């Protein structure tokens, strides 16, 4: 082949290769890149939306499960003398992934209900609950020269807390404030904690006290080992009302006791009160889950006007008595 032919062939091949740098080809490449970028952006955006929607949906589901968890309401029905969780209002936070529970606790005195405490609890969809505010979280304790004993006061109301004295322990001083309650102004309603001289069965209690006269029942849930610990620490030998285990009575003592055991059983299966509920059950019957006949009553809470409380003065099983909250009849 001649040199001229070779030059012509080489020039032809160079022209064929020049299409890579041509404006039309570069424009096509740029357009393809933009399409690919937009495609990846849309895919990424959709994936992010789907992921966020999934997290949002799961978060709301978990939050709702935590909010409908009725453990606290059930626990308030088996712990805390003559106090119960009355209502709650839920305020949701950002994107409904957290909420604040506004809880109201009440106390029944005769035919009146009074607000005893308020709580604000922050509930996230994941993680620990946080108590923002608890009006009665700390109590004032003062020694009363007049009564010759330590007296606990509720910080929210300023009223006195009920206190009980174990029938299994010995005390240097046993208060008899039932006598004081019967001498109050007749326009006063008072609640009084009555501590018995020994533990009694429900049948025995029914023979002595009318169910309609009882506001709340103090159940013995302390094990033998627990009493040994109490004997070694005098500061724990008086049971403060907020820590006492028992149940509210609304006319029928047996039905109230059955509800109490049902709540203990349910709470002992799972949840944050599982350990406390199981300890209650073991304290009542360490061999098997307790039945009605296993319950031993250490005291009760009664309430009324001074004249209405007089009928309890002649009951021999009462070993000690303390006054709790008082309110006006009108």
Q: How far apart are CA 288 and CA 271, in angstroms?
A: 21
Give residue 65's pLDDT. Answer: 76
Same-domain check for residues 157 and 265: yes
Name which of 112, 294, 83 is nearest 203 in CA terms.
294
Domain boundary among 35, 66, 97: 66
Domain boundary among 19, 43, 66: 66
Same-domain check for residues 39 and 158: no
Same-domain check for residues 41 and 145: no
Same-domain check for residues 49 and 171: no
Answer whether residue 111 is part of any domain: no
Question: Which whole number is the average pLDDT over 78-105?
Answer: 87
The DSSP call for residue 161 is P
- What HEC string does 55-106 produce? HHHHHHHHHHHHHHCCHHHHHHCCECCCEEEEEEEEEECHHHCEEEEEEEEE
Answer whether residue 296 is part of any domain: yes
Burial of 138 (0-12, 13-18, 19+ CB in 10 A): exposed
Give residue 132's pLDDT. Answer: 80
Q: Residue 301's domain spans which residues?
A: 140-328
Same-domain check for residues 150 and 268: yes
Q: How far apart are CA 112 and CA 114, in angstroms?
A: 7
Same-domain check for residues 160 and 262: yes
State percent of the chain over pLDDT 70.
91
Q: What is the pLDDT of residues 137-190, one digit of tens each?
A: 556 778 888 888 888 899 888 899 999 999 999 998 999 999 999 999 999 999
Same-domain check for residues 286 and 170: yes
Question: Mean pLDDT of all residues in the chain?
Answer: 87
Q: What is the pLDDT of residues 201-217, one digit of tens each?
A: 999 999 999 999 999 99
Give residue 246's pLDDT. Answer: 97
Domain boundary among 15, 48, 66: 66
Same-domain check for residues 56 and 149: no
Check if the beta carbon of residue 163 is closer than 8 Å to that of residue 81: no
Q: Confidence class of residue 197 from pLDDT cuts 50, 70 and 90?
A: very high
Side-chain-side CA neighbours of 132 within 13 Å: the count stands at 12
pLDDT above 90: residue 198 = yes
Answer whether residue 114 is part of any domain: no
Tell me phi and psi for residue 147, to 5 degrees.
-95, -15
Same-domain check for residues 57 and 152: no
Q: How many domains does the chain have?
A: 2
Q: How far apart are CA 138 and CA 22, in angstroms?
A: 83
Answer whether residue 62 is part of any domain: yes
Q: How far apart are CA 41 and CA 87, in angstroms?
A: 49
Same-domain check for residues 187 and 322: yes
Give residue 169's pLDDT. Answer: 94
Q: Which single residue is written with the structure tokens 């406390």? A: 276
Q: What is the pLDDT of residues 295-329, one digit of tens each?
A: 999 999 999 999 999 999 989 999 999 999 999 99
């Amino acid at each position: 082949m001649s040199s001229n032919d070779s030059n012509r062939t080489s020039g032809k091949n160079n022209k064929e290769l020049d299409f890579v740098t041509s404006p039309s080809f570069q424009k096509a490449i740029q357009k393809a890149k933009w399409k690919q970028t937009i495609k990846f952006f849309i895919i990424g955006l959709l994936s992010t939306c789907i992921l966020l929607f999934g997290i949002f949906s799961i978060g709301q589901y978990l939050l709702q499960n935590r909010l409908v968890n009725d453990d606290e309401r059930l626990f308030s029905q088996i712990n805390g003398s003559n106090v119960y969780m009355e209502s709650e209002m839920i305020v949701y936070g950002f994107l409904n992934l957290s909420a604040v529970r506004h809880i109201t606790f009440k106390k029944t005195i005769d035919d009146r209900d009074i607000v005893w405490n308020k709580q604000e609890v922050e509930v996230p969809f994941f993680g620990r609950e946080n108590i923002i505010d608890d009006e009665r979280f700390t109590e004032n304790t003062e020694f009363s020269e007049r009564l010759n004993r330590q007296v606990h006061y509720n910080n929210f109301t300023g009223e006195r807390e009920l206190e009980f004295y174990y029938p299994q322990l010995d005390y240097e001083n046993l208060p008899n404030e039932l006598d004081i309650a019967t001498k109050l102004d007749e326009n006063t309603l008072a609640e009084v904690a009555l501590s018995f001289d020994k533990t009694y069965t429900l049948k025995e209690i029914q023979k002595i006290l009318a169910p309609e006269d009882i506001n709340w029942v103090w159940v013995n849930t302390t094990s033998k080992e627990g009493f040994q610990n109490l004997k070694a620490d005098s500061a724990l030998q008086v049971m403060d009302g907020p820590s006492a285990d028992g149940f509210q009575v609304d006319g029928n003592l047996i039905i109230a006791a059955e509800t109490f055991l049902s709540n203990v059983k349910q709470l002992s299966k799972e949840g944050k009160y599982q350990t406390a509920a199981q300890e209650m059950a073991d304290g009542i019957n360490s061999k098997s889950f307790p039945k009605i006949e296993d319950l031993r009553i250490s005291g009760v809470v009664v309430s009324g006007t001074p004249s209405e409380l007089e009928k309890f003065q002649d009951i021999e099983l009462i070993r000690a008595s303390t006054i709790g909250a008082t309110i006006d009849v009108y």
